[in-house]
Structure 1
Amino acid sequence: SDNQIQILERTFKVCPNPDETQRAHHGRELGVQPQQIKFWFKNRRAQMRRV
């Protein structure tokens, strides 16, 4: 959802490479699997490299 993306974007600005504990925390907070958080951050970092 848009709200989830906003939270992830804010988090990305502070820490673009969260560890497993942080991913688990965000997963619980947003109601998604930590693996999905991991891939979101991976894709976001790749997107930043392309820009």
Structure 2
Amino acid sequence: MKELVEYIARSITSQPDEVRVTEEEDEDGRVILRLEVAPEDKGKVIGRQG
């Protein structure tokens, strides 16, 4: 799933080299994916301008 999120994020951002996806597990065993992008790409990722 991490690779899919990274692929999609790199496809829609103007600075794909700034995309970072980290995977964590919480105390209940759930997997949390954290996505970081360049500030100017945040709107595209969350839906505005994208």
TM-score with structure 2 length normalisation? 0.32
Q: Which has the higher contact order (CA 8 A, sep 6+)?
A: 2
Whichever structure has more strand as a proportion of its residues is 2
TM-score with structure 1 length normalisation? 0.31
